[in-house]
Amino acid sequence: MAGIWVFAEHKGGTFRKVVFELLGKAKELSGRVEGGIKALLLGGDEGTAEELAHYADEVYHLRSPFLDLYNCDAYREALLSLLEQERPSVLLAGATFQAKELFPMVAARLGVGIAVDAVALELQEGDRVMVRRPIYGGKALLEMVLEGTPQIVLVRPHTFPPASRRETPAPVVRKEVDIPPEKVRVKVKEVERAKEKVDLTEADVIVCGGRGLKGPENFSLLEELAQVLGGVVGATRAVVDAGWRPYEDQVGKSGKTVSPNLYFAVGLSGAIHHVMGMDTSKVVVAINKDPMAPIFQYADYGLVADLFEVVPLLKEELKKELGK
């Protein structure tokens, strides 16, 4: 086993939460194998690399003026230049839009296997890992092993607990990479940075609303509940298609797939395309006045009640509980 690498996706020095989850999983796997854990940082400054060094056995910090902002051409060439010299057994990344664009290209170039959206990973004989991933929107799961080295696995965010920070930082190895400008064909311009809001895929708590909310103005009820819990608000397809909430809030098969610790399904029926986007949530609470709503089949706790009555009360009760 030649080690496990973790792709440390970040934006302007802020890491995606999934990076720490992958480092935690890598640590668990590496207990049984040699080679250690390397965190791969592309772009970012020295402080970013130093922070990462508290979570891995070594940090590879790849630097080039082309790596300041994510650019799939530049990132791919940088990764390939490194992978030409050294091949880990396993390369882990989060199943984010960025990684889902970048790593299939890397896998194609190296001729190695890739598994996207893994929800479980287990070490098998030698250095092979068994990957489990949902198919048909979670109606079935597939267990597979990959060929080639590295085995590239993109893991669904919020699947594994995060690594703990170590007191002593590991060494940082800086590598200046030479990216031929002609290889960088796409020109990326950031036109709008995402609001400070936590992305749905990274949220610990999601309060999701459906058409039962009756109108966009009533989502403030959910915003307030989410705020008490440090969570974020999601929406169903019907709500997004009606223009009540932006597409980035959509949970479901044609939106985002989420796995928070706690998921509130409020005033939504639980159409299958919605369930496909949230059924790996750890704990689900459904609030709906229709006792026949399918969402109750996918919930741990069910409240057959009027959301307009129950949600404000729940917010107050949680405030009391959490001392806010």
Partner 1 sequence: MEIICFIKQVPDNEAQVEVKGDGTGVNVEERYGLNFFDSLAVEEALRIKEKAGGKVTAITLGPERSVEVLRTAIAMGVDEAHLISDFSLQEGDEASTARVLAEAAKKIGYDLILCGREAFDDSSGAVGPMVAEFLGIPAVSVVTKVEVHPEERKAVVEREMEGGKEEIELPLPALLTAQKGLNEPRVPPVMGVMKAMKAEIKRWNLGDLGLDAQEVAPRGKTIRYVPPPKRPPVRYIKGEPQEMVKELVELLRDEAKVI
List the interface residues with partner 1, window 251-290 (CB under 8 A): 253-255, 261-262, 272-273, 276, 279, 282-286
Among 45, 108, 166, 175, interactor with partner 1 by CB under 8 A: 108
With H, G, I as helix, E, B as strand and everything else as coil, classify residue 37: strand
Is 60:40 a contact under the CB 8 Å cutoff? yes
Can residue 135 be called a binding residue for partner 1 (CB under 8 A)?
yes
Is 121:130 a contact under the CB 8 Å cutoff? yes
In this complex, which beta carbon is closest to partner 1, that of residue 57 or of residue 77?
Answer: 77
Can residue 125 be called a binding residue for partner 1 (CB under 8 A)?
no
Least separation in angstroms between CB 203 and partner 1: 12
Nearest of 293, 234, 236 to residue 262 by alpha carbon: 234
Can residue 206 be called a binding residue for partner 1 (CB under 8 A)?
no
Can residue 101 be called a binding residue for partner 1 (CB under 8 A)?
yes
Show contacts with partner 1 in window 289-308 (CB under 8 A): 296-306
- Residue 313: phi, psi to the nearest 5? -65, -40
- Give the H or E element holding residue 221: helix 219-229
Show contacts with partner 1 in window 22-51 (CB under 8 A): none
Report the 10 Å Cβ neighbour count for 1.
18
Show contacts with partner 1 in window 207-226 (CB under 8 A): none
Can residue 130 be called a binding residue for partner 1 (CB under 8 A)?
yes
Is 49:59 a contact under the CB 8 Å cutoff? yes
Phi-psi region of 230 (alpha: psi -120 to 50; beta: other; left: phi over 0): left
Kindly calculate the radius of gyration of the chain based on its CA atoms and give it in whole angstroms. Answer: 21
Which sign does the torsion angle of CA 189, 192, 195, 199 carry?
negative
Among 13, 34, 45, 145, interactor with partner 1 by CB under 8 A: 145
Can residue 313 be called a binding residue for partner 1 (CB under 8 A)?
yes
Query: Which region, judged by CB under 8 A, interacts with partner 1, from 30-38, 53-61, 84-92, 190-198?
Result: 190-198
In this complex, which beta carbon is closest to partner 1, that of residue 121 or of residue 170?
Answer: 121
Least separation in angstroms between CB 245 and partner 1: 13
Which sign does the torsion angle of CA 201, 202, 207, 213 carry?
negative
Among 62, 112, 172, 233, interactor with partner 1 by CB under 8 A: 112
- Give the H or E element holding residue 93: strand 90-94
In this complex, which beta carbon is closest to partner 1, that of residue 42 or of residue 170?
Answer: 42
Can residue 185 be called a binding residue for partner 1 (CB under 8 A)?
yes
Among 105, 162, 169, 216, interactor with partner 1 by CB under 8 A: 105
Q: How many residues does the chain have?
A: 324
In this complex, which beta carbon is closest to partner 1, that of residue 17 or of residue 61?
Answer: 17
Count of residues touching partner 1 (by CB under 8 A): 91
Least separation in angstroms between CB 231 and partner 1: 10
Can residue 314 be called a binding residue for partner 1 (CB under 8 A)?
yes
Can residue 123 be called a binding residue for partner 1 (CB under 8 A)?
no
Nearest of 250, 264, 274 to residue 138 by alpha carbon: 274
Which sign does the torsion angle of CA 274, 221, 195, 229 carry?
negative
Across-strand partners of 10? 15
Show contacts with partner 1 in window 6-25 (CB under 8 A): 11, 16
